[in-house]
Amino acid sequence: IVLRGLNCTPPTATITTTTATTFCQGGSVILNANTGTGLTYQWRTGTTNIAGATNASYTATTAGSYTVLVSNAGGC
């Protein structure tokens, strides 16, 4: 059996928005991750995955610190 390590280059993960990142109660902001062929997404608030938030964009309706995990088809 020959085991080979994955030669994997992780994709860049960036978040942009086209509106202000502050809003009043009842408001929201759309967060956009970089896009590309074969990329998958998982949005988080703090260190907790947001259930069902697996698109390139996420609409934040509560205050907090948001991150996105971007993976490519190779699992990086």
| Residue of higher predicted confidence among 38 and 4 | 38
| Residue of higher predicted confidence among 64 and 11 | 64
Q: Which amino acid, one-letter code, is at 22?
A: T
- C-beta neighbour count of 61 within 10 angstroms: 12
Q: pTM here?
A: 0.82
Q: Is the per-residue pLDDT at 4 higher than 70? A: no
Residue from 37, 49, 44, 47 nearest 11 by CA: 37
3-state SS class at 3: coil
User: Residues 9-57: pLDDT tens digits?
Assistant: 878 889 999 888 888 889 999 999 999 899 999 999 999 999 999 999 9
C-alpha distances (whole Å) from 64 to each of 17, 21, 48, 53 are 15, 11, 11, 15
